[in-house]
Amino acid sequence: MVFFFISGGHCMLWERILIREIRLYQLRHGHRLSIRATAKLLSSMLHPFKGTEMCVALTLCGWDNGPKLIYVCSDGARLQGDVFSVGSGSPYAYGVLDRELRWSLSKGEAISLAREAVFRATHRDAYSGNNVDLFHITAQGWRCTPPLAL
């Protein structure tokens, strides 16, 4: 399973293209593409557009023998990490995450922290949106948290 965290029109286009390619891979090979392979596929598709005005910043999330979080940007760069925030509100979100994040958080605490980080980013940054969908991803699958107003 792959989740996309996106913003902007270019990202939405590339999300649809990548979903199509993932589905074609699964039909041809009979199994899902790993998160790392998905990031590599997206990176190779974006690389020809390096240096153009296209702006894409996707964060891929999923579970391949453990949690995976990979950031892919429009120049084709791929970064695997534990925490990513993308966009103009990122400094505000990172401020909250740097202060509050601990790896021993309960599921409820983690969801509250994610909401707080997005709230601070959208409250302080005029160019950040105010819509957020939070997902809890485990080896058993994913669950979307109930929507709450920021």
Cα angle 97, 88, 84; round to 5:
40
pLDDT for 19-34, tens place per residue?
999 999 999 999 999 9
pLDDT for 39-49, tens place per residue?
999 999 988 88
Neighbours of 105 (CB within 10 A): 14
Q: What is the mean pLDDT of each run of 10 residues along the chain (150 residues)?
A: 56 87 96 94 90 84 91 90 88 94 93 89 76 82 78
- Domain 1-84, CATH: 3.60.20.10
- Report domain extents, the chain: 1-84, 87-150
Q: Which two tokens stand for residue 79?
A: 């970064």
Q: What is the pLDDT of residue 56?
A: 83
d(CA 71, CA 116): 21
Which amino acid makes up residue 18? Answer: L
Q: What is the pLDDT of residue 9?
A: 66
**What is the value of pTM for the model shown?**
0.81
Q: What is the pLDDT of residue 70?
A: 95
